[in-house]
Structure 1
Amino acid sequence: MDYLAIVVALVVVTASSIAIHLLARAKKARPGNLPPGSLGLPVIGQSLGLLRAMRGDGGSRWIQDRIDRYGPVSKLSLFGRPTVLLAGPAANKFLFFSGAFSTRQPRSVQRILGEKSILDLHGADHRRVRGALLEFLRPDMLKAYVGRIDGEVRRHLQENWAGRATVTVLPLMKRLTFDIISALLFGLERGAVRDALAGDFVRMIEGIWAVPVNLPFTAFSRSLKASGRARRVLQEITREKKKASQVEVEHGNGKASRNSDLITCLLGLRDGHGQRLLTDEEIVDNAMVALIAGHDTSSILMTFMVRHLANDDATLAAMVQEHEEIAKNKGDGEALTWEDLAKMKLTWRVAQETLRVVPPIFGNFRRALEDTEFDGYLIPKGWQVFWTANVTHMDASIFHEPAKFDPSRFETENQRASAAPPFSFVAFGGGPRICPGIEFSRIETLVTMHHLVRQFRWKLCCKEDTFVRDPMPSPLLGLPVQIEHRASP
């Protein structure tokens, strides 16, 4: 009963504060210029309706209903804040490139990932941190990662797929991408530390989008504790690698090696005055973000590729042929190379079409730093702006027969693809904040699918082929499949 009383008190106080905030904002705004729509009930707004729709895989329909009713620009209230929904290619371009907006993550995300992450930085700080991360993701460094990722994928399939009659795809893909990221980002080898970090990572994710009330029985509390343990591991790794880099400096080599991990790379970066580009806190916070970003998107993408290919024999057969042609020119056990990935054009088109139909990120929020206008409507300072990928991805005027799975949309010579307006395919975002890990995700996906389609056949265990979002898409029961080894050609 004590816990219940505390929760009720917190809800009342929070609700009252947010309601006052909403009323104050509404009075300050010039009502005649605000977009059509309604802020709904205080605090609740339209949040429950959107969350309910997303959990039933109806989020896209919910958004489209609003657009049909109010147009591509409308006001509403989401998660306790007045919000403007922007939809369409022109709105995407405006939002991605305008300097009047910064990103805004829920408080729970900030508490768990840290205050110095790239997700909440803007201006010069964002450019500095993004530039540091891109240093690790330079093309010449990415080429060096292909062989290491190949080794992780081979081990994963041998240990978790080979000899099994059934597997559950999503948790296995998540463990695979976690192992890849642990090795390349943190230099963590297989063992107890990596296994413990994997467990904490799962618990951390469970409460990352929860109500940020730090009480013992809440998901947020468990997530926060797991985040603390994970952070201590990364802090210790950072200290150890800092000592190693100082030894290198003493020997006249202060730069990170070409094959170094992310933390070593970031520690070695210097500005024009020879000072470190990032602090220890910034390195740890952004390593936490990289762990999340590099894990979820790729694992979800590959899971839904497996899901689609189970019922698309023609596309699967074409992919198998593409990968067998690549394998013909390689010796037994020889790792894939950067040049091999360049030949996997069909596989990447299948990946892009999967991202179009089921984008891992449903949408995202920005915050207005000043009063600004779009399409004749006022977006008041401090309001949220919400955009979603599905609006353009499933627009029949942009993508012909959008419900049809058609990888040929992404052929460079295909006229339909070239005619699509810019900022229509936004699975990775766009503008200065476009996902910096696109190429890393591409490597993970292509290497994994190469070995998967050559070694296994599979069929879905569940007749009901559905998925929900919470907030990432998740297929029914994690996508259990029956598997069998594919005979050697």
Structure 2
Amino acid sequence: MDHLSLCPLVALLLCAVLLALRNIFKILFHDKEKSTADIPPGSHGFPVIGETLQFMLSVNSGKGFYEFVRSRRIKYGSCFKTRLFGETHVFLSTTDSARAVLNNESGMFTKRYIKSIAALVGDRSLLCASQHHHKILRSRFINLFSKKSTALMVRHFDELVVDSLSGWEHRGTVVLLTDLLQITFKAMCKMLISLENEEELGSLQRDVGLVCEAMLAFPLNLPWTRFHKGIMARGRVMEVLEKIIRERRNETTSHNNSHHEDFMEQLLAVDDGSSSLSSDHSTKLTDAEIKDNILTMIIAGQDTTASALTWMVKYLGENQNVLNILIEEQTQIAKQASDKPFLELDDLTEMTYASKMVKESLRMASVVPWFPRLVLQDCEMEGYKINKGWNINIDARSIHLDPNVYSEPHKFNPSRFDEETKANSFLAFGMGGRTCLGLNMAKAMIY
């Protein structure tokens, strides 16, 4: 009887508990809906790792890592969120967002790359520096990209290209990207550190290649991983640069008459007070800053430029009419400069059609497909709430291929640049305070 009399009481208590749980879940669910209603659509994927695995699969697929972004933009729209390497990322693909984030007039954003890239190029690199540190570094490096430096690069690069082309006719097959990587690497090493020894160049290029390959690898620093190989390669590159710095300083102290017309020489001259640019002693760079940024400039000058040139040749091969117009322009310039062995900087100003062709190649290829920033305070973008601490990425590739921005965006048409383009729509070199420092030099190499 006692057990039977307890049954209604137990049932009542169970109902009360279930009702309470129902109300708790209702409140929690309602609060969740309320707090996430204005957050960008998308998926956080699996616990902890998010969608990192899907991203890595895209990196290693034939379509490349951008396929990860493209598929989600199609699904969610111009603003979506995901979770990569333990952090929330938001991708935006409108010109208004590009202006707000990249110009950063509000001061709400700062540069931020994923952990693997930051570890490989170094936290003192222009790519990873905080907003304040970036301004200091930029003020020191901007003088390196002078008209004189660009003019020297144009001549040297043209010499390298002519030398390479002369050997192509005797080869059965030319792997264009491989050859262009060698040309651009030699050009950057000559400009930055005056390195021309073939054996040393070969060794350094292999290590820089390992660093580049590891940039989008999962940041697992174990001996068999690609990331670990990249970290080890970075260490060897740092040793080479440290050796060059030490030798240059020894030459100075021993009053050796050796002089190098390169970036390293200028940076060391400023820091030892022998340059007119050394008046602001507070901005003296450390050796670590010099080494991180020399590596960054080698990677940027070699990898992105070679990729851009490869895409340009592809587009020209597919568009005979564009190629014919370009050949006609180049033939006229060659006639005018027939008394000169190599191109000079002034010759590039005559290449009006070539400049439009280069812009169109960069638009379609989008060698740098997105620009990452860290959100410093809560804000609103495209009608969605963006939280402090999130990573926000301007999807340049989507903007470049947006039919609302460019008519027939998948058609290779340099003449579209006869007219001024929509504001904030051409992002090949970034925009705002973090616009590519080597913009003019990169253009000169691609021309």
TM range (shorter): 0.7 to 0.9
Shift of 1:260: 2.2
Q: What is the identity, as a one-letter code, of the residue corresponding to 2:444? A: I
Structure with bigger gyration radius: 2
Mapped partners of 2:212, 2:195: distance in 1:
20
Unmatched tracts of structure 1, length 5 or more:
1-25, 447-489
Number of residues of Structure 1 aligned to a counterpart in Structure 2: 407
The one-character-per-residue Cα deviations of 1:62-90 (angstroms, maximum 9, x if unpaired) are: 64554455443332223331122222000
Amino acid at match of 2:332: E
- Which letter does structure 2 place at the counterpart of 1:444? M
- What is the distance in 2 between the residues matched to 1:205 and 1:124? 27
1:376-432, CA deviations, whole angstroms, 9 ceiling, x for partnerless residues? 432111111122112211111111111111001122xx2xxx2x3211111111111
* Amino acid aligned to 1:429: G
SS of the residue aligned with 2:127? Answer: helix
SS of match in other structure, 2:318: coil
Distance 1:277 1:83 in 2: 35
- In structure 2, the partner of 1:424 is 425
Q: Please say if residues 117 and 285 of structure 1, whose CA atoms lie closer than 8 Å, have aligned partners that are also in contact.
A: yes
Residue pair 2:122, 2:128 contacting (<8 A) in 1 also: no
Shift in Å, 1:439: 1.0
- Contact 2:373 2:393 (8 Å CA) reproduced: yes
What's the counterpart of residue 139 of structure 2?
Answer: 131
Say which is worse superposed, 181-190 or 197-206, in terms of deviation. 197-206
SS of equivalent to 2:151: helix
Structure 1 equivalent of residue 211 of structure 2: 204
- Is 1:287–2:294 an aligned residue pair? yes
Work out whether 1:41 is the aligned partner of 2:46.
Answer: yes
Distance in 2 separating the partners of 1:208 and 1:69: 27
Q: Does structure 2 conserve the Cα–Cα contact (< 8 Å) formed by 1:301 and 1:355?
A: yes
Deviates more, 1:278-287 or 1:236-245: 236-245
Map 1:64-463 → 2, pairs under 5 A:
66-67=72-73, 69-98=75-104, 99-159=107-167, 161-245=168-252, 260-269=261-270, 270-274=277-281, 277-331=284-338, 334-411=341-418, 414=419, 418=420, 420-446=421-447
User: Counterpart amino acid of 1:92?
Assistant: A
Q: How far apart are the structure 2 equivalents of 1:431 and 1:58?
A: 28
Asked whether the equivalents of residues 376 and 389 of structure 2 are also in contact (C-alpha less than 8 Å), the reply is yes
Counterpart CA distance in 2 for 1:275 and 1:384 is 31
Taking the aligned partners of 2:212 and 2:73, their CA distance within structure 1 comes to 31
Counterpart Cα distance in 2 of 1:109 and 1:124: 20
Return 437-446 or 364-373, whichever deviates more.
364-373
- The C-alpha deviation readout for 1:128-184, integer Å capped at 9, x for no partner, is 11122211102243123322222222223234x232232110111111100100111
Q: Give the drift of 1:276.
A: 6.0
Counterpart in the other structure of 2:12: none
Q: What TM-score do the two structures reach when normalised by structure 1?
A: 0.77
User: How has the CA–CA distance of structure 1 residues 399 and 189 changed in structure 2, closer, same or farther, with 3 Å as cutoff?
Assistant: same
For residues 89-110 of structure 1, give each alpha carbon's deviation from its aligned partner in whole angstroms, at most 9, with x where no partner exists.
0001111122212222222222
Deviation at 1:245, TM superposition (A): 5.0
Superposition deviation, residue 49 in structure 1: 4.1
Query: C-alpha separation between the residues in 1 aligned to 2:252 and 2:150?
Result: 21
How far apart, in 2, do the equivalents of 1:215 and 1:83 lie?
Answer: 26
Do the aligned partners of residues 423 and 143 (structure 1) sit closer, same or farther apart at CA in structure 2, a change above 3 Å counting? same
Q: Measure the CA separation in 2 of the matches of 1:123 and 1:389.
A: 21
Cα contact 1:363–1:388 (8 A) shared by 2 = yes
Root-mean-square deviation (CA, aligned residues, Å) is: 2.7
Secondary structure, in 3 states, of the residue corresponding to 1:82? strand
Cα distance in 2 between the residues matched to 1:226 and 1:204? 6
C-alpha separation in 2, matches of 1:243 and 1:156: 35
Partner Cα separation in structure 2 for residue 206 and residue 190 of structure 1: 24
Q: TM-score, normalised by structure 2?
A: 0.83
C-alpha change, 1:284 and 1:213, in structure 2 (3 Å) is same
- What amino acid maps onto 1:222 in structure 2? K
Shift of residue 247 of structure 1? 6.7
Cα pair distance change 1:359/1:186, threshold 3 Å: same
State the alpha-carbon separation in 2 of the partners of residues 37 and 237 from structure 1: 48
C-alpha separation between the residues in 1 aligned to 2:85 and 2:371? 13
**C-alpha separation in 2, matches of 1:338 and 1:210:** 39
The equivalent of 1:57 in structure 2 is 63
Shift of 1:350: 1.3
